[in-house]
């Protein structure tokens, strides 16, 4: 029986390993399914999916558990590829098929999320996501993509060495949670629409932020995280996805958390994700990261057999295996009695009820079925790509040289390995763009003569033989621009950084260019580096961070330089000094500073050192003053600055107490300068409340105001909830504590409001307690010397505070 079943499954699985042919939509009008409830548009999506799965044989069920599903030809159910990517635009991936020329040969390529995160503009994110999902639907209508997309990456970016930090909106969990809430709205076409535009997938759940540091590979890494850190830092973006945004899918990660691979951990996938956060609709599913199910066996060595590995993942709640391990090993696991057929049915029902919600079986009744290539890269999409880049660019230094008027009577020397960038600007998870306007394109739009020296190489060879044109062009130029930094040759998926400084060759060239006595500024591209030498050099007029700005990034950069657009972006991460990497290993998942291990702490909330630029840094071409329009609102329970906790919680009728409103505080932002500009209002909380140590401050609200004219005022609403004020205890519970609080606006700050809470502490959310702690014992796959902090471990080898 086992051999027969396995042969039957593999016979079907074989053709599914390549890019699927025969994709499309099921035929509900005249095909074999026409009388099945799955084709009844008046029926409930769950009932429709159950009726479909009931028609599958066991072999057909097992064969459709992978990311490349062959469907069921005898039922007229087409093949389907679940793995589609659209991180910042429809992207190359197994399920997405770009044509070589003509229609569907490109899609709008927005900036990487790290740049869009720097805009701190939730309305922008919703608009970008709407364009991306609209273009994705157009691709799907012509059999060039699926309907679910494995985006966004919302792991908080706490360590500057992480190779995938560019894929995230930044380091702050509140910021990411708000960002993704708006992104999902745009991608899925609302939080509960009749037909979803696409299904978004929040990844990577959870504790994943390392690729290959010092011999520690993501496939084998066991992240030891305390319940306090898990709830306070690593979980909020995912809670926003599941509980607050009704996202359609999750992806479990390669790593283990506290000894258990996430894709085989029912505590994470069931107790937290589905039960605690109420993510229980059958149309919601979990996929593994690609081949993470295989990793459960090796190198995690979590199970003794391959059959136990696939059963552990399926039973834990991983519905789709990105790979072939399910299809290959589930038949034998079933015969060994390691899972029930009802569990398999549940996984398939989740997948196909999701497709029902996407209108997969409903033909032209779905409004998105009318989209064509004319809806791809529209003038609106192109303008939005430029806006997204311009809003995310951050001005970090300016001696008054910028904005700079540049005309046809001037010459620009454009130097550096980003000078003539094209695909560099897209970063990773990209697809072909309609055009790529790099810095040289942007410089040419000023009308000036542009001399381009695409040297020195960003990380490479400091061979001076290629530098001679640099000095010739600098001599001829009126303005010198250096565009460089890092790119995907330094940090990307699978590769963490080994340093966070500029290369010697680049700093050498920059320093020499600054000696010409001409207006000279630096465009620092890619991810963050220690910009101390740039800041301290008085002959460098300005420093701009451009990141990975997408298809129109070069034009956006020079629009900032010339003042066509006023800068208002803010750093979404901390820029650390280069020595930071010697003070804490990437394997240390703790946030708080630790005198025993020598950790200076992580992120702006806990870092005790002096950052090069702190989270939220960003200059303008004008000045702003901030004032509170009025005091904190109060009612018969409170004075204007003192609130009783029992009164606040007693007035709360929300199912989740952390979502109950505390106050909406109007904030007047006045432009006291001479340039019309956007302004990002950042609202931080600080004070003495909850468990010690206290964080330096915590971002609790933000709002981007647009086009504030000189001498005028706009008002931003700072919305605070009870959850905004709460802290997390050692057990992961979210608690509203008595104590002193202060609301600070901006990083300086520009305004501050004090208040206090009195009475007994009240728990807003009781965190499900984890199973008995476990440390992954693996004597074969180990990290390199110094990759763990033995001083910080308990006698049993575990991290203090891990429950």
CATH number for 632: 2.60.40.10
In this prediction, residue 787 carries a pLDDT of 73
Same domain, 443 and 544: yes
**Residue 679 is assigned to a structural domain of this protein:** yes
Tell me if 616 is assigned to some domain: no
State yes or no: cis peptide before 403, omega within 30 of 0: yes
Q: What is the pLDDT of residue 781?
A: 79
For helices 325-335 and 306-316, give the axis angle rounded to 10 degrees: 100
Q: Does 577 share its domain with 626?
A: no
- Active-site residue flag, 172: no
**What spatial distance separates the first Cα and last Cα of the chain, rounded to whole Å?**
44
Distance CA 272, CA 714 (A): 41
The residue out of 562, 582, 602 marking a domain boundary is 582
**What is the number of domains present in the chain?**
2
Question: Which of 532, 567, 582 is the last residue in one of the domains?
Answer: 582
Of 289, 321, 496, 501, which is the active-site residue? 289
Task: Specify the long-range contacts of residues 751-754, CB closer than 8 Å, at least 24 apart.
Answer: 751/626, 751/627, 751/628, 751/667, 753/628, 753/631, 753/632, 753/665, 754/641
Q: How many CB atoms lie under 10 A from the CB of residue 683? A: 26
pLDDT of the residue at 99 = 97
pLDDT of residue 457: 76
Q: What is the pLDDT of residue 800?
A: 45
Q: Is residue 735 a part of any domain in this protein?
A: yes
pLDDT of residue 9: 45
Residues 472 and 567 in one domain: yes
Residue span of the structural domain in which 540 resides: 386-582
Altogether, the residues listed in the chain come to a count of 803
Secondary structure of residue 387 in the 3-state scheme: helix
Q: Return the pLDDT at 651.
A: 86
Q: Please indicate, yes or no, if residue 170 is contained in any of the structural domains.
A: no
Q: Are residues 570 and 473 in the same domain?
A: yes
CATH number at residue 473: 3.40.50.1700
Q: Does the bond joining 152 to the residue before it have cis omega, within 30 degrees of 0?
A: yes
Same domain, 491 and 399: yes
Kindly state whether residues 394 and 481 are assigned to the same domain: yes
Tell me which H or E stretch contains 180: helix 173-188
Query: Does a structural domain hold residue 462?
Result: yes
CA-to-CA distance for 787 and 79, rounded, in angstroms? 44
Same domain flag for 414 and 555: yes
Flag whether 721 is in a domain.
Answer: yes
3-state secondary structure of 317: coil
Mean pLDDT per 10-residue segment, the chain (803 residues): 43 38 83 96 97 98 97 96 98 97 98 98 98 98 97 98 98 98 98 97 98 95 96 98 98 97 98 98 95 97 97 98 98 98 98 98 96 98 98 98 97 97 98 98 98 83 84 98 96 96 95 97 98 98 98 98 98 98 96 96 98 98 94 56 94 93 96 98 98 98 98 97 98 98 97 96 98 79 69 44 44
- CA distances 485 to 123, 238, 456, 470, Å, are 30, 31, 11, 17
């Amino acid at each position: 029986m086992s051999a027969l079943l396995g042969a039957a499954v593999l016979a079907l699985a074989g053709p599914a390993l390549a890019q699927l042919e025969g994709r499309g939509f099921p035929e509900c009008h005249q095909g074999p399914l026409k009388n099945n409830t799955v084709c009844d548009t008046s029926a409930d999506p769950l009932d429709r999916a159950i009726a479909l799965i009931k028609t599958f044989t066991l072999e057909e069920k097992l064969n459709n558990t992978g990311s490349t599903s062959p469907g069921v030809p005898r039922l007229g159910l087409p093949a389907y590829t679940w793995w589609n990517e659209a991180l910042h635009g429809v992207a190359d991936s197994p399920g997405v098929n770009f044509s070589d020329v003509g229609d569907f040969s490109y899609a709008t390529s927005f900036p990487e999320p790290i740049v869009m995160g720097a805009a701190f503009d939730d309305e922008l994110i919703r608009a970008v996501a709407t364009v991306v999902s609209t273009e994705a639907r157009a691709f799907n209508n012509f059999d060039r993509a699926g309907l679910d997309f494995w985006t966004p990456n919302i792991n908080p970016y706490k360590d500057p060495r992480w190779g995938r930090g560019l894929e995230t909106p930044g380091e702050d969990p509140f910021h990411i949670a708000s960002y993704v809430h708006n992104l999902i709205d745009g991608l899925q076409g609302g939080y509960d629409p009749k037909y979803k535009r696409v299904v978004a997938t929040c990844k990577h759940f959870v504790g994943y932020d390392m690729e290959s540091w010092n011999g520690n590979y993501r496939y084998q890494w066991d992240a030891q995280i305390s319940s306090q850190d898990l709830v306070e830092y690593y979980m909020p973006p995912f809670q926003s996805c599941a509980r607050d945004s009704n996202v359609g899918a999750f992806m479990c990660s390669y790593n283990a958390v506290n000894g258990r691979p996430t894709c085989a951990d029912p505590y994470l996938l069931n107790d937290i994700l589905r039960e605690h956060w109420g993510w229980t609709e059958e149309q919601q599913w979990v996929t593994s990261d690609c081949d993470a199910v295989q990793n459960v066996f090796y190198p995690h060595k979590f199970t003794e057999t391959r059959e136990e590995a696939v059963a552990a993942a399926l039973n834990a709640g991983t519905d789709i295996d990105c790979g072939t391990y399910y299809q290959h090993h589930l038949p034998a696991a079933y015969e060994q009695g390691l899972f029930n057929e009802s569990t398999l049915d549940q996984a398939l029902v989740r997948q196909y009820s999701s497709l029902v919600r996407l209108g997969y079986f409903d033909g032209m009744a779905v409004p998105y079925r009318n989209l064509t290539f004319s809806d791809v890269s529209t003038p609106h999409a192109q303008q939005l790509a430029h806006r997204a880049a311009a809003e995310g660019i951050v001005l970090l230094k300016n001696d008054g040289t910028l904005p700079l008027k540049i005309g046809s009577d001037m010459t620009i020397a454009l130097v550096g390995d980003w000078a003539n960038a094209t695909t560099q600007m897209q970063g990773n998870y990209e697809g072909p763009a309609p055009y790529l306007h790099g810095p040289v394109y942007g410089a040419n739009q000023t009308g000036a003569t542009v001399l381009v020296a695409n040297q020195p190489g960003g990380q490479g060879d400091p061979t001076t033989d290629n530098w001679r044109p640099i000095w010739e062009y600098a001599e001829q130029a009126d303005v010198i621009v250096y565009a460089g930094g890092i790119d995907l040759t330094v940090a990307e998926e699978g590769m963490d950084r080994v340093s966070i400084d500029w290369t010697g060759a680049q700093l050498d060239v920059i320093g020499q260019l600054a000696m010409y006595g001409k207006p000279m500024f630096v465009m620092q591209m890619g991810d963050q580096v220690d910009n101390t030498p740039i800041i301290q050099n008085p002959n460098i007029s300005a420093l701009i961070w451009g990141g990975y700005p997408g298809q129109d990034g070069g034009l956006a950069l020079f629009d900032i330089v010339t003042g066509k657009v006023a800068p208002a972006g803010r750093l979404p991460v901390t820029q650390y000094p280069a020595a930071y990497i010697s003070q804490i290993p990437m394997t240390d998942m703790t946030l708080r500073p630790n005198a025993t291990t020598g950790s200076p702490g992580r992120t702006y909330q806990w870092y005790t050192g002096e950052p090069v630029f702190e989270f939220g840094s960003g200059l303008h071409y004008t000045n702003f003053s901030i004032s509170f329009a009025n005091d904190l609102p109060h009612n018969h329970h409170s004075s204007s600055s003192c609130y009783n906790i029992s009164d606040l919680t007693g007035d709360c009728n929300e199912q989740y107490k952390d979502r109950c409103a505390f106050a909406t505080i109007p904030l007047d932002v006045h432009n006291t300068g001479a340039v019309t500009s956007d302004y990002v209002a950042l609202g931080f909380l600080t004070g003495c409340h909850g468990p010690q140590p206290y964080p330096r401050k915590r971002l609790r609200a933000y709002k981007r105001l647009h086009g504030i004219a000189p001498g005028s005022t706009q008002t931003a609403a700072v919305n605070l909830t009870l959850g905004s004020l709460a802290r997390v205890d050692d057990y992961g519970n979210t608690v509203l504590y008595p104590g002193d609080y202060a609301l600070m606006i901006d990083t300086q700050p520009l305004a501050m409001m004090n208040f206090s809470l009195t009475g007994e502490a009240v728990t807003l959310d009781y965190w499900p307690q984890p199973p008995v702690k476990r440390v992954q014992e693996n004597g074969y796959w180990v990290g390199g010397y110094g990759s763990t902090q033995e001083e910080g471990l308990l006698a049993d080898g575990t991290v203090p505070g891990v429950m």
